[in-house]
Amino acid sequence: MPDHDGLNSVQLETYFALTEAAGLLQQAVERQLRAHGGLSYIQFHILARLDASEKPLTMTELADGVVYSRSGLTYQAGLLDQAGLIKRKSSPQDERATLVTITAAGRRRLRRVMPGHIEVAKTLLFDGLSDADVRTLGDIMSRVRDHIHQTSVRQSSRRRTTQ
Amino acid sequence: MPDHDGLNSVQLETYFALTEAAGLLQQAVERQLRAHGGLSYIQFHILARLDASEKPLTMTELADGVVYSRSGLTYQAGLLDQAGLIKRKSSPQDERATLVTITAAGRRRLRRVMPGHIEVAKTLLFDGLSDADVRTLGDIMSRVRDHIHQTSVRQSSRRRTTQ
DNA sequence: TATTGTTATACTCTATAACTATA
DNA sequence: TATAGTTATAGAGTATAACAATA
């Protein structure tokens, strides 16, 4: 197999196909969320995580999911708060922490965009694949995701130690 | 299989695994390009396409590859031009068009970032996969990419007809 | 009249560093 | 002294619309 700077041609094609397809999917999803829900993808993600959580989440817990600077999260949470989609209050246990909860309006907004969101995924991703493909893809990408989680100790979401 | 708003659970897991893994990979790649080459991913992509092309490309041809507004491309091309990595001149055939070529410095910059770029892909994506996985993933994602290309008539890269 | 590309402008997002307050 | 979070600020990127020039 010919090597192009360290990747063989099968790897190179796989890499390009993955990044291009995922990028196109991502853009389509963002367009839909913006158009039908007035939400950025990150805002959607924050709402979805709060909706799935039994208990309120702190800003730090939220930041751990989104690979993100803390100020960026504060900014996005500020927008969601201002729109009445989340509520923030300081934690009774640790008064440094902020507890974030999704509001009823937040859940409504989520329910409003979900069908379109799902529709994009179905149209662009699943319509072209067999059930077996979907299972295989899910298996492979789950392993990739876990591998990346183990490998890159997501430095940007973690606070620099001191300083 | 239980349906969640139109996707079964296998599809949902596949969708999440794909978007999360691809997102993490993308962020890692962007960090590397920025740190080791001072390039945004789009600038890298523009350079790579010019490098691979036998002939100069017009702005329109470049915009067709990147799903992008024309003004955004002009902005990015302006930065690359200013940095001496590309050269622009108006086409002799069609004086409305701008022909873009990569400079020697542009190729050098590309060669400089390539090893690190490849390294990220290898470490995060391929280290966790067998050769068979890579072939399978490439096959599936190529079909997804082609399917998306057929489906979404990339409206944002194409100029609105009139108006 | 349509198309290529640029520019002006306004807006969104992101990161860094400084800061407050609590542990 | 370290941690949680916010804020101030500055910069990068993006899109829209208006524009000039050519086909």
Residue by residue, what is the 3-state secondary structure of B2-52?
Answer: CEECCEEHHHHHHHHHHHHHHHHHHHHHHHHHHHHHCCCHHHHHHHHHHHH
pLDDT bracket for residue A91 (50, 70, 90) = very high
Q: How many cross-chain Cβ pairs, A to B, lie less than 8 Å apart?
A: 178
Listed residue (B46, B23, B121) closest to A7, CA to CA:
B121
- Residues of chain A with pLDDT > 90, as a percent, come to 83
Q: Give the span between the Cα atoms of B108 and B123, in whole angstroms.
A: 24
Q: Tokens 């996969």 correspond to what residue?
A: B129
pTM over 0.75, yes/no = yes
pLDDT at B129 over 90: yes
CB-strand contact A158/D, under 7 Å: no
What phi and psi values does residue B96 have, to the nearest 5 degrees? -75, -30
Q: Give the span between the Cα atoms of A97 and A72, in whole angstroms.
A: 17
Q: Tokens 């640790």 correspond to what residue?
A: A94
All residues of chain A having their beta carbon less than 8 Å from the beta carbon of residue B13 are: 138, 142
All residues of chain A having their beta carbon less than 8 Å from the beta carbon of residue B134 are: 10-11, 14
**Of A82-86, B3-7, B26-30, minimum mean pLDDT range:** B3-7
In this prediction, residues B22-28 reach a mean pLDDT of: 93
Instruction: Find the DSSP H helices in chain A.
Output: 9-37, 41-52, 59-65, 70-82, 104-121, 131-151
In this prediction, residues A56-61 reach a mean pLDDT of: 96
pLDDT bracket for residue A155 (50, 70, 90) = very low
Quick check: B67 contacting A, CB < 8 Å? yes
All residues of chain B having their beta carbon less than 8 Å from the beta carbon of residue A145 are: 17, 20-21, 24
Distance A85 CA to C11 C1' (A): 21
